[in-house]
Homo-oligomer: A and B are copies of this chain.
Amino acid sequence: MDAVLDEAAGKRARGLDRAFEILDFLRQKRQALKPNEIAAQIGAPRSSVYELVNLLLRNGILEFTGGEGRVYLGRKLYFLGAAYENHFDFTRECEAVLERLADETRETAQFCMLDGNKYTVVRMREGARPFRISTDIGQSVPIPWTASGRLLVAHRTDEDILTFIPSQDFRLPGGEWLDPQHFLAEVRQAEREGFFTFNSIVDSFTHCFAVPVMDEGGHAAATLCLVTPRDDGLANRDRYLARLKEAAASLNHAPTRAKRG
């Protein structure tokens, strides 16, 4: 799952890696599970999982919830996450920017980042339309499926990108394969132009706009996106892009600034 531990089969797994595998698994499932179920579904020894779950429970990293001995992510994680959010305090400005974007365009606006080697939607503001387009927050999505994905890996070399992205992630939900060379070409194009737009390759009715939010190193630390119906996207392309770029510019220096006293 996390591409770190299954390098060699048959080896013993390290407790820490297993622990975070459990946490990631629960996050992905988005529901409380019994230790037994966790063990079965991630393919880990039951005794190890029980041991780890108990350890994590004692530390407040996991919590009993949902009854029947089921566990889910715990309060301590919330506090740690809040500390991260506070340190790189993009969130406050971010919400405001998304709100403005959604108001101006009436389209769904998203703030996206990489989570390891996957793409994920961190914040979202739904647009003001009768049929709204939305996605799940915090779900892991293969990088090549998304417009933002082109921007978020653009600081890497071609070779680096292909080792970074799991090869099966080039398989689209329909089953067709995306040519990695074609993907790389789009990455370079996105890097040159400073944005990327396309008719989404994961459905048949949306058009996606993505612009990078730069960190101080000049990399794309995140992206701002609009997800629109295809005809609206094409009709308002220039205006939407301009709005997005303004919005991204207002965030560009925000990340990674500590606010120590």
A residues near B (Cβ < 8 Å) are 2, 4, 14-17, 19-20, 23-24, 26-27, 30-32, 52, 55-56, 58-61, 65-66, 72-88, 113, 115-116, 120, 122, 137-138, 256, 258, 260
Q: Decide: A82 near B115, CB < 8 A? Known: A66-B258, A256-B65.
A: no
A59:B4 contact, CB within 8 angstroms: yes
B84:A138 contact, CB within 8 angstroms: no
B77:A81 contact, CB within 8 angstroms: yes
Q: Decide: A30 near B260, CB < 8 A? Known: A17-B55, A59-B20.
A: yes
Tell me the bound Cα distance from A4 to B76 in angstroms.
Answer: 15
Minimal beta-carbon separation of A6 from chain B (angstroms): 14
5 contacts between A and B (CB under 8 A): A4-B59, A20-B76, A77-B83, A78-B81, A79-B115
Minimal beta-carbon separation of A191 from chain B (angstroms): 22
Report the copy number of this chain in the oligomer. 2
A80:B23 contact, CB within 8 angstroms: yes
Minimal beta-carbon separation of A16 from chain B (angstroms): 5
Residues of chain B contacted by A82 (CB below 8 angstroms): 81, 122, 137-138
Q: Which of B52, B61, B74, B83 contacts A27 (CB 8 A)?
A: B83
Residues of chain B contacted by A80 (CB below 8 angstroms): 23-24, 27, 73, 77, 80-81
- Identify which of A32, A56, A60 gathers the most chain B CB atoms within 10 Å of its CB: A60
Other 17 A-B pairs with CB < 8 A, given A16-B19, A16-B52, A80-B80: A4-B59, A16-B55, A20-B61, A31-B87, A31-B258, A72-B84, A73-B84, A75-B84, A75-B113, A77-B77, A77-B80, A78-B84, A79-B115, A79-B120, A80-B81, A82-B122, A83-B138
Tell me the bound Cα distance from A82 to B138 in angstroms.
Answer: 8
A31:B84 contact, CB within 8 angstroms: no
- Identify which of A32, A52, A79, A113 gathers the most chain B CB atoms within 10 Å of its CB: A79
